[in-house]
Amino acid sequence: MSAQSARPMDLMDFDEQRYRYDLDRKNKRFALQLWRFANGSIFLFFAFANYLMRATQGSWPPPGVARLDATLPAIFSVVLLFSALPARSMTAAIRREDRPAMQRYILVTVALGLAFLIGLIVIWRQVPYSGSYSAIFFTMTGFHAVHVVVGMLLFGYIFVKAQRGAYSKENHWSVEGTVIFWHFVELMWVFYFVVLYLL
């Protein structure tokens, strides 16, 4: 009789734990959405500042400043966008409890992010100092570079934790949140690329 009465209690405890886990994930996702909105607003602010500079200059780039060639930035942009594939795959890997595969995908993603940063440094060296033009260019790309570095650090964090046996198909919010952050960074770069090189 006691065993039979204990079983419903165990089920109740399990249901409560599951409810708390689901609620915790919803709260974390909501917090991440708020962060994306706030951070996205800053990205938009810089794009608006770019527009204001264009409007006050009359011509853009300003007279005497050559428009930057978009070929090399386009190549490194493809590299960054390509990193979405291993980033997405790492979430799928941990959902099937395959930590070694997840760690491999992390390394590939970080390597592609590093290649993008190296490309950005090469591009920076080609930008002529030209007052407003170079100032807004370095501000926008520098702000984005900081986010790429943060994303790589987050991937490093979950890589180390995975080596210690963390994460499972039921508990991998850190992996999911980092991948969402990385996709946000990729999307914002597409927007910046259009503003800086195509408009």
Mean pLDDT per 10-residue interval, the chain, length 199 residues: 49 58 58 63 76 76 82 94 95 91 96 96 87 87 94 94 85 86 91 88
- Looking at residue 61, the DSSP 8-state letter turns out to be S
Distance CA 83, CA 90 (A): 11
pLDDT value for 177? 87
* CATH number of the CATH domain containing 146: 1.20.120.80
Q: Please report, as a single letter, which amino acid is at residue 161.
A: K
Distance CA 151, CA 38 (A): 17
Orientation of helix 2-57 relative to helix 173-193, angle to 10°: 20
pLDDT value for 6? 47
Q: 189 is in which domain, residue-wise? A: 2-198
Location of structure tokens 């790492």: 90
pLDDT value for 82? 96
Distance CA 84, CA 186 (A): 8
Q: Quick check: bond before 86 cis, omega within 30?
A: no
What predicted TM-score, i.e. pTM, was given to this entire model?
A: 0.81
Structure tokens at 142: 């520098």
Number of H helices, E strands in the chain: 6, 0
pLDDT value for 131? 80
How many domains does the chain contain in total? 1
Structure tokens at 122: 């090469």
pLDDT value for 122? 93
